[in-house]
Structure 1
Amino acid sequence: MRAMAVYQLKGGVGKTTTAVNLAALAAREKIPTLLWDLDPQGAASWILGIDKGHKQDELWNSDEPINRYIQPSTIPRLDVLSADSSLRKFHQSLSGKKEARQRMAEVLDRLAEDYGLIIIDCPPMMTPQMEGVLRAVDRILVPVEPSVLSIRAYEQIRAQFDWAKKSQWLPFVTMIDRRKPAHLRWVKSGLEHFPEILRTFVAYSASAERMLELRSPIVEQQPTVPLARNYQALWKALKPKLNLC
């Protein structure tokens, strides 16, 4: 089993869109997949059709079976551990990164019997507890929008998480808007300063809004549109790096 966190310090860079579409693509390949929504907004849960669930803060404060918190989505082989507003106090539920890492590792170990891949949609926050979660996973997928603030946020987290091994760190460029010359200039010349960033790009697309209307991953509802093809290409690039059995 592999666990991959989708994380960025800056919001609005397509983190949740990435998480749900990659989860759907993995499930389509008959990989039992769990989308674990850790963002209090619960957008990933909502997109996958989950409106209600147990308060997730209870998971971090009790020893109840984790299956109690997991619900099936409408996509075969894709389950959801849904988020809710109780996660706003997530950083108060654990004493620090050591406890968060230990608790997450324990839960992931229990889930390994049922899932081949766990994708965690993380909130845009940098706390010791969040660092503990990231230390417990196998891979960290980081969407980087070609904008000043997004690049700055990426540099901040890369410096903060210098413990991450090269194989764990998977940044990629997202939300490229071809109408913006600054985006194109950065991809052409600025990207060369970041050799660790995957050369698989996800473009800005209005199809992301359509996905919200449909409450379903774009790769499921409109698999031939450019955004869906972008995510298909990203999944193809990521799959060998995940070493899935």
Structure 2
Amino acid sequence: MRIIAFYSPKGGVGKTAAAVNTAYLASRDNLRTLLWDLDPQGASSFYLAGAEPVKGRKLSKLLEGKSPIARFIHEDVYPNLDFIPAHSSFRNFDIKLEQEHGGSALKDLLAPLSEDTSLVILDCPPTLSRLTEQVLDVADMVYVPVVPTWLSLNSWDQLKQFVKDKKLGVKKLRPFFSMVDRRKNLHRDVLARDAEKLGLPALAAVPYASAVERMGEEGQPLEVLAPGSLAAGEFRKLWSGIKTDLWSR
């Protein structure tokens, strides 16, 4: 079982859209995939079910060991794609993890899935917390959306330093550009010098597009909603890079 995470210290940068589309593409490649929405805002539910989002459950019984993780899973939202939706109680998830399990809590919770699941995708909240540290520790790779602006580039540099300071493995971090607007000079300039600005090449450059915004309205991944769009093509490029990271090295 491989575990990846989509994380950014900044909100509103296309993290959840990337997580949902990657999960769908993985399941379409016949990988038994689980998407776990750890963000209490629960945006993944809207991208998968639109006006009738999948409802999550409180995690207290799971953390107390009174209920197995399987009971929190909505199976086959799409073929081969399982889903654990967020719940408002997730806002205290990091505190409860420490209280109930300690430093290896997330790893312990995911362990029972290893026999039946090929890929776990964690959609993380935009915070620097103990939960963030546990995600960075347990994940094989962490994919970080970066808007091609100076503020977002600065956040990327801060994240790398945080991971380095915590000794969580900087090499796990893989950036991709998100919400790209090629009409803007700054965006074009940053994209042209991605390796210089990021320290390594970006895996993809997902555009700021109405098709991505429609995912929440229609409740469908982009590969279903608008497979011919430029954004869908960039998500396929991102997934190709992820497969190389996980299985071709």
Same fold (TM over 0.5): yes
**How far does residue 215 in structure 1 lie from its aligned partner after superposition?**
0.4
Counterpart of 1:150 in structure 2 is 152
Moved >2 Å (runs of 4+): 56-63, 163-167, 188-191, 193-200
**How far does residue 62 in structure 1 lie from its aligned partner after superposition?**
3.1
Residues 1:168 and 2:156 are matched in the alignment: no
CA contact (8 A) 1:10 1:149 kept: no
CA contact (8 A) 1:56 1:82 kept: no
**Structure 1 residues without counterparts, runs of 5 or longer:** none
Instruction: Map 1:158-237 onto structure 2 (within 5 A).
Output: 158-162=160-164, 163-165=167-169, 167-189=171-193, 191-237=195-241
Match of 2:86 among 83, 86, 102: 83
Give the share of equivalent positions with the same residue, in percent.
38
CA contact (8 A) 1:23 1:33 kept: yes
Report the TM-score when normalising by structure 1.
0.92
Partners in 1 of 2:27 and 2:227 — Cα distance? 14
**How far does residue 206 in structure 1 lie from its aligned partner after superposition?**
1.1
Q: Which amino acid aligns with 1:42?
A: G
Partners in 1 of 2:216 and 2:207 — Cα distance? 17
**How far does residue 157 in structure 1 lie from its aligned partner after superposition?**
1.0
Counterpart of 1:16 in structure 2 is 16
Counterpart of 2:112 in structure 1 is 110
**How far does residue 199 in structure 1 lie from its aligned partner after superposition?**
4.3
Counterpart of 1:3 in structure 2 is 3
Matched residue count: 242
Q: Secondary structure at the match of 1:10?
A: coil
CA contact (8 A) 2:203 2:238 kept: no
Instruction: Map 1:133-148 onto structure 2 (within 5 A).
Output: 133-148=135-150
For residues 88-145 of structure 1, the C-alpha deviation after alignment (integer angstroms, 9 at most, x for no partner) is: 111321338x924x11111222111111000000000001232122211111111111
CA contact (8 A) 2:176 2:205 kept: yes
For residues 179-221 of structure 1, the C-alpha deviation after alignment (integer angstroms, 9 at most, x for no partner) is: 2111112222464242324242212111111111110111122
Partners in 2 of 1:223 and 1:242 — Cα distance? 24
**Cα distance 1:166–1:107, how it changes in 2: closer, same or farther (>3 A)?**
same
Q: Secondary structure at the match of 1:174?
A: strand
Q: Secondary structure at the match of 2:136?
A: helix
Q: Secondary structure at the match of 2:77?
A: coil
Q: Secondary structure at the match of 1:114?
A: coil
Q: Which amino acid aligns with 2:227?
A: P
**Cα distance 1:134–1:60, how it changes in 2: closer, same or farther (>3 A)?**
farther
Partners in 1 of 2:39 and 2:216 — Cα distance? 17
Residues 1:71 and 2:74 are matched in the alignment: yes
Q: Secondary structure at the match of 2:91?
A: helix
CA contact (8 A) 2:176 2:202 kept: yes
Partners in 2 of 1:199 and 1:32 — Cα distance? 23
Counterpart of 1:243 in structure 2 is 247
CA contact (8 A) 1:57 1:90 kept: no
Q: Which amino acid aligns with 2:135?
A: V
**How far does residue 15 in structure 1 lie from its aligned partner after superposition?**
0.1
CA contact (8 A) 1:40 1:85 kept: yes
Q: Greater CA deviation, 3-12 or 201-210?
A: 201-210
Q: Which amino acid aligns with 2:178?
A: T
For residues 38-73 of structure 1, the C-alpha deviation after alignment (integer angstroms, 9 at most, x for no partner) is: 000011123212421321344334342110100024
Partners in 2 of 1:63 and 1:134 — Cα distance? 26
Partners in 1 of 2:232 and 2:217 — Cα distance? 16
Q: Greater CA deviation, 217-226 or 29-38?
A: 217-226
